[in-house]
Amino acid sequence: MNKVELARMIDYTLLKPDATTAEIQKVCHEAIELGVYAVCFNPIHITTAKRSLAEHDVKVCTVAGFPLGASISAIKAFETLDAVNRGADEIDMVMNIGAFKDGAFSDVQIDVAAVVKAARGKALIKVILETNLLSDEEIRHACILCRDAGADFVKTATGITSGGATERHVEIMRESIGYDMGVKAAGGIRDYDTAITMVNAGASRIGTSSAVNILS
């Protein structure tokens, strides 16, 4: 896979809490130059991103329930509806990891479904599992819950907790859902070789703040 092809699989991400408008605009400019698929910012930056990317084929992704997944479903749904109304093309939501660990699987599925419903088919929904906190069997189960709730993608990690995407976790996710959904590998992907490893393991999207380094 060449770098042009890889670029079309990358969500160029800037989610740090102190990101400035100038930094967001810089990432958008770089995204256009690199030819990446999407940028991913916190919700407050959606309008800036849409303006910066006007007339360019780069999608705008944002987050809901980020970074802990511990918001109530109504809040995640509101974040999603607001983001879609302001032009977001994709939403990366964080699964309710504590509920999953409690065995409250119905609550987890309802949580994801609430976000899917709020998007009204106008934005893709990716669910962050935080795979480094889950066993292999838990990853499989979480993937199925997300699939059954109507999500479009499952995603490895926020990058906030220790650990990120691993080749094994991506393989498990792809094996669990087949090819009817996407798999986004994110967390610790900072160079071309690691990105390609994740693609070969089954990732259909790469989330990274290191797009310039990967694609240079």
Are 76 and 108 in contact by the 8 Å Cβ rule? The answer is: no
* Per-residue H/E/C for 52-76: HCCCCCCEEEEEECCCCCCCCHHHH
Residues contacting residue 93 through CB under 8 Å, at least 6 positions apart: 63, 64, 65, 66, 69, 76, 80, 112, 115, 125, 126, 127, 128
Q: Give rounded-to-5 percent helix, strand, coil for the chain.
A: 50, 15, 35
The strand ranges marked E within the chain are 10-14, 38-41, 59-64, 90-94, 124-128, 153-155, 182-186, 205-208
The amino acid at 161: T
Torsion angle, CA of 44/54/215/64, rounded to 10 degrees?
Answer: 30
Kindly give the pairing relationship between strand 10-14 and strand 90-94: unpaired
Residues involved in catalysis: 92, 155, 184
- CA-nearest of 4, 6, 37, 5 to 195 is 6
